[in-house]
Structure 1
Amino acid sequence: MKILENKYKISSGNFQLLMNNDLGFEILDTSSKQWITLKGINDYPITADKERIDRFTLEKVETLNGRSKLGLYKKYVFKSISKTTNFQMKKYLYITVFSDFKDAFLIKVKYHLIKGKVEIENVVRNEIKIDNNKILWAFQGASYPERPDWILPITQNYKRENYMGMNSNDYGGGIPIVDVWSKNGGVAVGILDKKPHPISLPLSNEKDGVYFKILENRRATLTDNEEYEGYTVVLIPHRGDFFDPLELYSKILTESGFKVRKNKYPKDAYLPQWCAWGYGRDFSYDGEYMEEILKTIDKVKELGFGWVIIDDGWQDKYGDWGISKLAFKNEESDLIKMVKKIHEKNLKAGIWFIPFAASKDSKFLKAHKELQVLDRNLNPVEIDFWNSYYLCPSMAGTQKVTTELVRRLISNYDFDGLKVDGQHINATPPCFNILHNHENEFESYEDSPKLINKIHDLSHSLKKSAVIEICPCGTCPSIYNMPSCDLPVASDPKSSFQVRHRGKVFKALMGRNVPYFGDYVELTESGEDFVSTIGVGGVPGSMFTLKDKGHYPLTKQKEKHIKKWIDIYNKLRLSEGRYLNLYDMVFDFPETHVVRKGRRLYYSIFADNFSGKFELRGLSKSKEYEIFNCENDYKISTLKKGEKFVNLNFENHIFICAIPKKVADHVA
């Protein structure tokens, strides 16, 4: 690739941003002296007439040093003036690097109209073109009804808008960052903000390359001496897969005051979970739901689970949240009795609900239609999957009914945690209800995570040890709900690969020791893949049912299998360990995940078939190691100091650990 002339060099960690007078850029990996084969086109507005305002003359470059809440920084200020004759506009591009956040470039832009009038339709941020003459994969954080993989290969003619607003009635929001990488490295681009914005991060594979960028999706009309200031964008070049840029992104957000990551999570969040969802919500055995659960909890305890979760079906109507007589004959008194029985078994009790939603025929909705989210045509907006209507999270009435329910569940019924469910909890559609006096129609969208946060904080104020699980059914979660989450979940995975890559995403964003719940094992292709959860440092779960009831009957063979893996989990507790990003999940074969617990390294390795030498990364050169099979409890080999290859032969997976020889008297 041709190197830019008139280069301005900006260094951060292992990478250097080189910019020319037109503010285009390339990226150099300074440690390997290799160019990341991309072309960067910096920010430009698009007018209402679809004209690109991208012709500026660079007038001055300044360098400033200082300190902010993110630490010591160096800021580069590029001052340009437009070349157009229709108006005069100045462009200020700010690129900041921080000593504590190596490899990250924080970018802001400001347009100052000196004279004239400009109608801005949109602003493009950090447009990047990557050569497509190699295999490329991408992480994309948007939410769609199809519930696609969060990481996937960029195939021929691939295209996705990655809109962070609503992509259907039920699906919207997500994680506003896109990462594209190859075997040799990649680059991520996202926005840094404490509240959600309906931006887009379109990615497309064209004939001449893969293009991706950020669209701010904001209109503005500027006249004399008025300004447009863009969002803060982060550009993160990297080696390996998506893990490092997502982790760095979340660390910057956390340090800026938006606590995506926590140093410590509730200890009860690490307990394996059994859920009554296997019994369903349409009870053909009227009045026996409670009895079935009470019969099942003895087996739940025996198999080593720590939680009993009461799922959808305990209630009469969404919004009313009365107790269903089909589930509990004596309603509230029976529910309280059941929680007490669960606690007597020394198990934790959790309960499911969906926030800011009300069934169309609920009493609450009939009495409080003024709380509904209305669309542009002033019609109530449906939550399709739940056959319900949205309640506007901005409204005090919606907040009141939600917090009253939380108080009832935690204080009155004595539940230990809440499963906050529904794909709609990522984001709320724009609200045009004139009774709400919104500052703008996206206020409802911006206030969704605020209501989720109220649920979290109130729960913990009522019961300090409470666990809040947030499950945006099947779709990529909103990063703006993560500060309110104690237990992220794989959310109805369609495959074991989804369980694993979603786990790696959460470990990057929420902390390497986050108690990631891999969801119920019955949802994997085989219905019995525990290792995809446990091996990435996740918390396992099941929704088995007793033989004659429900969808997942507990056969003798299944019981033996569950007992084996829950025992392994409870013995190792790898979820409390530290995930290590030592392998590219895509380009290193076989796919490998590593968790460090104490002095031991645990490797979960996946392939249809593998036979040969395998490199165990992360071993100390000064130590000898005993290599054990953790699943079947036998020694594989001994590695001398400096050795790192082991002979493996397996189908589907192998789960092994490396133990320094002095402590290798048995598998942990």
Structure 2
Amino acid sequence: MTMLRQNKFRAGRAMLLSAIGVLVLNSGACRRGSRSQEENKISAVSVTAERASPVVTRLPGAEYDIWPSGYVQAYQIQKRTSRRFSIEQQEAGAASWGDKLWVDGKEVSDFVYDFKSHKEYDVRSKIGKLGKRVEVKARSMSKQIEKTLALEVFDDFPNMAVEQLTYLNLGTADIRLDRIQAQRHRLDASIVVVSGQRNAFWSFHGASMEAERDAVFPIPIGFSQRNVMASPVAVKGELGSVGGGVPVVALWTATLGLAIGHVEPLSQAVAFPVHTFPDGVVETYMEVEPGARLKSHEQYSTPRSFVATYTGDYFEPLSLYAQVMSRQGSPPAKPGSAAYGAEWVARADDAGAAPAQIAARIPQLKALNVRWVTLAGKWFGASGDWQPRGETFSAEAIQELVTGLHRQGILAGLSWTPLAVEDGEAGRKSGGARVAKDHPEWLVLDKSGHHARTGHNLAALCPAVPEVQEYIKQAVVRFIQTWGFDGLRLEDVYTVPDCHNPAHHHKSPQDSQRAIAEVHKQILLTVKSLRPEGAVTIASGGTPPNFAWLPYVNKVETGGPAGSPQVRHGIKMYKALLGPAAAVSANTIEGTGSREDLGGEFASTVGLGAVVGARFNRSAGADDAGYKKWLKIYNDLMLSQGEFQNLYVTGFDDPEGYVIQQHEKTYFAFFASQPDKPWKGELDLRGLKRGRFRVFDYANGKELGTVTSPRLRIAVQFTGYLLLEVSPQQ
């Protein structure tokens, strides 16, 4: 169980007013003795309450009301008029939409909050140096449990409120906490959408699920999805399981959105279910299953969750979440210039990808200015040992290939799955990896004492074991220092199962998941120590990444088995999480298995500022005219190093729009919702400053005319996509 840590807050005087009216405190700075100016700034957050009304926490731009059941409703405040807006239904009458608790198999529903004795503190933390913490207590007489709802709001992040629930056993008998639902919200799009349906939201779901399932989509009637985080998630097919995820769920309309998630630095086995009621109202919340037994006067605290309100789409809350996590010690790694080089991924299990055949393609690759060649697929004998297999992929042949690439100025990458290991079980013909035989004590065990299964139905090395961490580090040294590779591509990396191996002496079975970050941190540090410009890439298919390892890669790869829209949604997700100039590879060219969408895939990559990647050996090859055209455009413009700007709302702007700022030029990418039908109309070129601008279709080499402020719109007709370069004119 997790105990509530004692925080050091400066106590403030609770303000009990007779109305819900608020007092906004002026932020400023003053000097008191030897205290610094920063320490004496006053928070702009104000708190008001009375017995029969909600506790209102307000600051410029946002408001958070705690209703009688503990329901926290978020509002966005319009600066010009001070009007507040929310897409949440307001709790009224006998409704009880707040948090829920199940103890010893039954729901405890008789908690009563005491708003009169709420407490207010100044709060300083890694998230923000200025803010307020509000605590409201409730008590269940049937179970003798005291609950404390703590809400923290920071001046630096006015659109986010952080919540934590703490349960204290006041009785004399032990109790078991079965399930907790916190951060519950009921959303109704019709509040802000005229004549709209209640479920008229687009959504982002951070759970890692099937690669073919796009994480961004509109919410239908009858929808239900659990969104499990951190733990493995079973999927159909050879992959077997995925898992991990970004602990955020977001829903939005054209004008207003709401997101929830958690802000704990370590992985947490939680879920963020989203479902619709028959009337179309959408509900979401954070669910935890502690399974913890509390003795008398012991307490349990939930992971810190958040609610955020925003204008825009999922980019906004993901960017906000990334900023908060960065402040808590998880900033994204910075990519070197080499990470932006165009890449060819050669799979060892594809025809034409033996070392000698790859070497024969080097002149073509050099002519196309391909910067990386990454060896993927079954180049190894057994997962876990990561040693070359057979004569075709011998250590000597691999090293000769790397040397040949280096002679031509091409960097070499190697693909592997660090913690996966073949154990000779689960119906595999292989006898298993040597590491599994020599060190069975390193493996993750399930509750029954058997090898727990991970992706591709493989066993897993436990990342919390120090010897495993050193073993992985030495493998990296072999790949980079001995074999000469310049970077690593971590493929099909998601999460690991709970570990019940008694030899590991875990405090919790989830220690295995919480140690993933340390393994990936060591991989990145080792690569960078041997190759300062080296790239560590994660490839997790089309699913959202595991945020635990995301800060320890300097390049990411998004897939799109469901087609080009999934590619674009993935690129936008990573630009939000890692920064507007993040090195995001869309290594999906021909990933759908069809060449009909080749132009759309390249346009989705180049137009959104992603790094071009391809698998030429699956069809026509590197001499194909399409590859030549798009690789030249990519290398000439290098939009992947530009700044991604979120100026169009996914799901509500038609056509779908994206913006990249590169020096003094602005690049727009538009995609029709029906790619096989012509789109005709006026495009709103957002983000441009005052002046006159030249508009150029850089994919087709066509001049489209000029636009002049204040009317920065242009009439066009296109099919599928349109890529524009807009430059200022004197």
Picking from 221, 232, 238, the partner of 1:166 is 232
Match in the other structure for 1:489: 557
Which runs of structure 2 are paired with 1:162-561 in the superposition (5 Å)?
Answer: 162-164=227-229, 165-168=231-234, 170-208=241-279, 209-259=281-331, 261-262=332-333, 264-277=334-347, 280-281=348-349, 289-328=354-393, 331-359=394-422, 360=424, 361=431, 362-383=433-454, 385=456, 388-422=458-492, 425-491=493-559, 493-524=561-592, 525=594, 526-528=597-599, 529-545=601-617, 551-554=618-621, 559-561=624-626
In 2, are the aligned partners of 1:79 and 1:90 still within 8 Å (CA)? Answer: no
In 2, are the aligned partners of 1:97 and 1:104 still within 8 Å (CA)? Answer: yes
CA distance in 1, matches of 2:586, 2:451: 35
SS in 2 for 1:498: helix
SS in 1 for 2:87: strand
Indicate how the Cα distance of structure 1 residues 435 and 76 shifts in structure 2: closer, same or farther if over 3 A, else same. Answer: closer
SS in 2 for 1:480: coil
In 2, are the aligned partners of 1:73 and 1:96 still within 8 Å (CA)? Answer: no
Gaps of 5+ in 2: 1-20, 22-48, 92-96, 189-196, 235-239, 425-430
CA distance in 1, matches of 2:563, 2:85: 36
Indicate how the Cα distance of structure 1 residues 220 and 381 shifts in structure 2: closer, same or farther if over 3 A, else same. Answer: closer
**1:65 aligned onto 2:128:** no
Match in the other structure for 2:428: none
SS in 1 for 2:86: strand
In 2, are the aligned partners of 1:582 and 1:593 still within 8 Å (CA)? Answer: yes
SS in 2 for 1:102: strand
Match in the other structure for 1:584: 649
In 2, are the aligned partners of 1:282 and 1:313 still within 8 Å (CA)? Answer: no
In 2, are the aligned partners of 1:87 and 1:116 still within 8 Å (CA)? Answer: no
SS in 2 for 1:10: strand
Match in the other structure for 2:65: 18
Instruction: Tell which deviates more after alignment, 331-340 or 69-78.
Output: 69-78
Indicate how the Cα distance of structure 1 residues 326 and 147 shifts in structure 2: closer, same or farther if over 3 A, else same. Answer: farther
Match in the other structure for 1:613: 682
Once the two structures are superposed, residues 506-530 of structure 1 have per-residue CA deviations (whole angstroms, 9 ceiling, x without a partner) of 0001111101001131114523421
The offset of 1:46, in angstroms, is 1.8
Picking from 71, 75, 87, the partner of 2:132 is 75
2:160 is aligned with what amino acid?
Answer: A
The offset of 1:488, in angstroms, is 0.9
CA distance in 1, matches of 2:55, 2:143: 28
The offset of 1:216, in angstroms, is 1.9
Identity, in percent, stands at 25
CA distance in 1, matches of 2:588, 2:364: 16
The offset of 1:188, in angstroms, is 0.5
Picking from 171, 174, 179, the partner of 1:115 is 171
CA distance in 2, matches of 1:480, 1:26: 29
1:186 is aligned with what amino acid?
Answer: G
Picking from 83, 88, 91, the partner of 2:144 is 88
In 1, are the aligned partners of 2:75 and 2:309 still within 8 Å (CA)? Answer: no
The offset of 1:12, in angstroms, is 4.3
In 2, are the aligned partners of 1:12 and 1:105 still within 8 Å (CA)? Answer: no
In 2, are the aligned partners of 1:96 and 1:105 still within 8 Å (CA)? Answer: yes
CA distance in 2, matches of 1:638, 1:145: 45
SS in 2 for 1:316: coil
Match in the other structure for 1:665: none
1:26 is aligned with what amino acid?
Answer: Q
The offset of 1:281, in angstroms, is 1.2
The offset of 1:338, in angstroms, is 1.2
In 2, are the aligned partners of 1:493 and 1:519 still within 8 Å (CA)? Answer: no
CA distance in 2, matches of 1:449, 1:601: 37
CA distance in 2, matches of 1:349, 1:23: 55
SS in 2 for 1:71: coil
The offset of 1:251, in angstroms, is 0.2
In 2, are the aligned partners of 1:77 and 1:92 still within 8 Å (CA)? Answer: no
Match in the other structure for 2:191: none
SS in 1 for 2:397: helix
The offset of 1:90, in angstroms, is 2.9
CA distance in 1, matches of 2:464, 2:481: 25
Once the two structures are superposed, residues 290-339 of structure 1 have per-residue CA deviations (whole angstroms, 9 ceiling, x without a partner) of 210011111111112110111123222222222223423xx222222211
Match in the other structure for 1:100: 156
In 1, are the aligned partners of 2:560 and 2:567 still within 8 Å (CA)? Answer: no
1:339 is aligned with what amino acid?
Answer: V
Instruction: Tell which deviates more after alignment, 20-29 or 484-493.
Output: 20-29
SS in 2 for 1:124: strand
- After TM superposition, the runs of 4+ consecutive aligned structure 1 residues lying more than 6 A away are none
Once the two structures are superposed, residues 6-34 of structure 1 have per-residue CA deviations (whole angstroms, 9 ceiling, x without a partner) of 14322245221223344334333211735
CA distance in 2, matches of 1:17, 1:133: 22
User: How many residues align structurally?
Assistant: 639
Instruction: Tell which deviates more after alignment, 35-44 or 627-636.
Output: 35-44
CA distance in 1, matches of 2:540, 2:66: 41
CA distance in 2, matches of 1:612, 1:179: 30
State TM-score, norm by structure 2. 0.84
1:100 is aligned with what amino acid?
Answer: D
CA distance in 2, matches of 1:600, 1:403: 43
The offset of 1:395, in angstroms, is 2.2
Once the two structures are superposed, residues 216-268 of structure 1 have per-residue CA deviations (whole angstroms, 9 ceiling, x without a partner) of 22123334322222211111011121111110011011012122x34x32111
In 2, are the aligned partners of 1:81 and 1:88 still within 8 Å (CA)? Answer: no
CA distance in 2, matches of 1:554, 1:246: 37
Match in the other structure for 2:103: 47
SS in 2 for 1:445: helix
In 1, are the aligned partners of 2:232 and 2:454 still within 8 Å (CA)? Answer: no
Match in the other structure for 1:666: none
Instruction: Tell which deviates more after alignment, 518-527 or 345-354.
Output: 518-527
Once the two structures are superposed, residues 127-174 of structure 1 have per-residue CA deviations (whole angstroms, 9 ceiling, x without a partner) of 111126241121111122464111112112111111111222521211
Once the two structures are superposed, residues 551-605 of structure 1 have per-residue CA deviations (whole angstroms, 9 ceiling, x without a partner) of 323285xx22111111111111111111111000111111001111112111100
Indicate how the Cα distance of structure 1 residues 146 and 631 shifts in structure 2: closer, same or farther if over 3 A, else same. Answer: closer
Once the two structures are superposed, residues 351-380 of structure 1 have per-residue CA deviations (whole angstroms, 9 ceiling, x without a partner) of 111111222322332222222222222221
In 2, are the aligned partners of 1:276 and 1:311 still within 8 Å (CA)? Answer: yes
1:396 is aligned with what amino acid?
Answer: P
In 2, are the aligned partners of 1:297 and 1:308 still within 8 Å (CA)? Answer: no
SS in 1 for 2:386: coil
CA distance in 2, matches of 1:313, 1:75: 55
CA distance in 2, matches of 1:626, 1:123: 57
Indicate how the Cα distance of structure 1 residues 601 and 491 shifts in structure 2: closer, same or farther if over 3 A, else same. Answer: same
CA distance in 2, matches of 1:274, 1:146: 21
CA distance in 2, matches of 1:69, 1:370: 38
CA distance in 2, matches of 1:290, 1:152: 41
Gaps of 5+ in 1: 546-550, 663-668
CA distance in 1, matches of 2:544, 2:123: 37
Indicate how the Cα distance of structure 1 residues 638 and 205 shifts in structure 2: closer, same or farther if over 3 A, else same. Answer: same
